[in-house]
Amino acid sequence: MGIDKFNDGIVYLQSLAINNESVVSQLFNRSIEVYKPIKLEEDKEKADYVDNWTNDWEIPLSRNYNPNTYEKVVCKLSLYQPCYLEKARSNPEKDFIKYLEALEGKIKWWWKNGDEHMRENFGVKYNDKGSTFQPDFIVLLNDGRLGIFDTKSAGYQEDDTKEKSDALQAYISEENQKGKKLLGGIIISEGNHLRLFRKPLYVKFKDLSDGWEYLKEVL
């Protein structure tokens, strides 16, 4: 149509949609009807894939990094050497890595799980839609336990954090019943301290009396 979307084109398109509301609504509803079964099938496939993913997953031998978004960092206890981390990593991630690097003698290695929705990363299904989240860190302790930790900013998206925390604790419990030795949970920074939540049902950080432990007392 030759519409210039950067000048008056967007106004023209909005006017076109408004003045033909009934037609646009029919097209929109028809698109939803056509796509809905496709989306349901995609969700089912994703859920089936994730079920197999968490059962059979192993840490990949190597990973490719985008030099525009990753940087080399000296981390002696990182599983991958040399260690590459995201340039835009969060402050909670930085605090946790600093903490882990001081645990020589207590842990064998730590591994940074990758970005969301990458197949080589470890994921846990956390809702009925088949959605997954990928905890930030996997840590092997000297006593053979394997830690699964996800770092968060205090008070950030608490409802979402609750779903993920509850799913992670359920996963840890189920795997431990099969003979695994897992621990882990949600980690946040509180001043100069790190706090860990690992109870079955998540409680917001502001309610510190219910389940938020000092990480140094656990790990």
Q: Which tens digits make up the pLDDT trace of 143-201?
A: 999 999 999 988 778 888 999 999 999 999 999 999 999 999 999 988 888 999 999 99
- Where in the chain do CATH 3.40.1350 domains reside? 57-217
Measured distance CA(176)–CA(200) in Å, rounded: 14
- Calculate mean pLDDT across residues 194-209: 83
Higher pLDDT, 194 or 50: 194
pLDDT for residue 108 is more than 60: yes
pLDDT band for 107, please (50, 70, 90 cuts).
Answer: very high
pTM higher than 0.75, yes or no?
no
pLDDT at 61: 82
Residue type, position 164, single letter:
K
Residues 4-43: pLDDT tens digits?
A: 544 555 566 667 667 777 776 777 667 667 666 765 555 4
| Core vs surface per residue 188-217: b (16+ CB within 10 A) or e | bbeeeebbbbbeeebbebeeeeebbbebee
CATH number for the domain whose boundaries are 57-217: 3.40.1350
